Amino acid sequence: MPSARQPCRVPLLGHNGIARQCYMPRCFWWAMPTLLFCSLATAEPIPVTSQPFSELAIYPSLSAPAEVVSDNLSRISAEISARIVSIPVRVGDTVKKGAVLARLEREDFVLALKREQATLQAIDAKLDLAHYELKRARSLSKQQAVSEQLLKQREATVNGLLAEQQAQQTAITQAKRQLDKTELRAPFTAVILERIGAIGELASPGSPLLRIIDMDTLEVAVKLSASQAKVLGRTRSTDDTPDNNPAIATPEFISAGQHYPVTLRRITPALDTRARTQEARLRFTGKLPLPGVTGELRWSRSKPSLPAEFISQRADRLGVFVWEKNQARFVTLNHAETGRPVVLTLPLGTAIITDGRYRLRDGDAVTSGVSHVSSPSPTR
């Protein structure tokens, strides 16, 4: 009997139709059944479980320290020099626009106004006489009873008194304004933060008497990194908003356990050269917190992400297995990091293989598993 090392003659048909003999080791023919069995075993579809990306997608939240600020944090100062008579508001009071915040002594300004009004009355009297003399001079001029020079003098007198009258009316207006400045009024709806002046003190122009804050322009101010600003900016620019996708959380300001919904107004298009951050301002859409309150701004990514437990590693690449035409396709995720969710640009209807990924390779045949798991399996 020939040994395993002896060749075996196998007739083969050559390209020119002439039969030839090929010599193969006998060990090759003994191994053929084993190779055939392994090939058949490998071709068997691998049972896996899959879920649509829409069911697995998450929208990770981001946060940053924030503070409630107002556009108007004002010091109410005196515009005239006068003694403080009264300050009818106290710290913590809320006042309407136009409410009196402080009163200054006004007697001197009342007297000044009366003086200007008296001066105007004297000018009016002189002007009446000048009009009479001009009218008389014109009548006599027609009879050639007065010279032309006298007529011109009468006209100049009237014009001069008219100018004095107009100037005095302006002086009276200024005196009234000075009198009005004895009452300091709220320029907007505000909360009294501090009383700086006191009754009996002498206020001078520019000296602050109170500090107030505008309650109608409260906003959230937050410093963001460039990446955070980019994500927050999409909450306003993208069509994938909380109204269209309930999975996306509305941006909110959180302080002392209270949640205040906000909406983005503006991200400053300039970078702080020291902190390398951008400032964002957000408006409140519902109830308002107290001004000056600190907390955190929390918002969600607008693009869906795949949880980290569904990311697989093959060789030195991270990716995800998707079910495509009864085959497992390995989609490489270049920006994926181990243990962290990754933004996925695949359609939400893409079938993500969740179970049975241990021995999958790109292109393997797959078949549906026996059941659907409710909780994801570990990374593998």
Grouping H, G, I as helix, E, B as strand and the rest as coil, residue 38 is helix
Domain 80-105+189-215 fold: OB fold (Dihydrolipoamide Acetyltransferase, E2P) (2.40.50)
Question: What average pLDDT does the segment 124-128 reach?
Answer: 93
Extract the runs of DSSP E, i.e. beta strands, from 14-123: 19-25, 46-52, 61-70, 73-77, 82-86, 94-95, 100-104
Q: Which residue has the higher pLDDT, 36 or 251?
A: 251
Give the model's pLDDT for residue 247: 43
Burial of 98 (0-12, 13-18, 19+ CB in 10 A): exposed
Give per-residue pLDDT as tens, 210-244.
Answer: 999 998 889 999 999 988 888 888 765 444 444 44
Q: What CATH number labels 46-59+305-368?
A: 2.40.420.20
Give the model's pLDDT for residue 127: 93
Burial of 338 (0-12, 13-18, 19+ CB in 10 A): exposed
Give per-residue pLDDT as tens, 281-307.
Answer: 999 998 999 888 999 999 887 788 899
Q: Does domain 106-181 have CATH number 1.10.287?
A: yes
Give the model's pLDDT for residue 149: 85
Give the model's pLDDT for residue 1: 46
φ, ψ (nearest 5 deg) of residue 154: -65, -40
Give the model's pLDDT for residue 341: 87
Nearest CA-CA partner of 186 in 218, 210, 219: 210
Give the model's pLDDT for residue 299: 87
Give per-residue pLDDT as tens, 300-336.
Answer: 877 888 998 999 999 889 999 999 988 999 999 988 8
Give the model's pLDDT for residue 243: 45
Give per-residue pLDDT as tens, 143-187.
Answer: 887 788 888 898 999 999 999 999 999 999 999 999 999 999 999
Query: Confidence band (pLDDT; 50, 70, 90) for 93?
Result: very high
Give per-residue pLDDT as tens, 96-117.
Answer: 999 999 999 999 999 999 999 9
pTM: 0.59
Buried b (16+ CB within 10 A) or exposed e, 127-163: beebeeebeebeeeeeeeebeeeeeeebeebbeebee
List the domain boundaries for the chain. 46-59+305-368, 61-71+217-300, 80-105+189-215, 106-181
Q: What is the mean pLDDT of the chain?
A: 83
CATH superfamily of the domain spanning 61-71+217-300: Efflux pump adaptor protein, beta barrel domain (2.40.30.170)
| Residue 339 clears pLDDT 70, i.e. is over it | yes
Residues 6+ apart with CB under 8 A from 300: 59, 60, 61, 62, 235, 248, 249
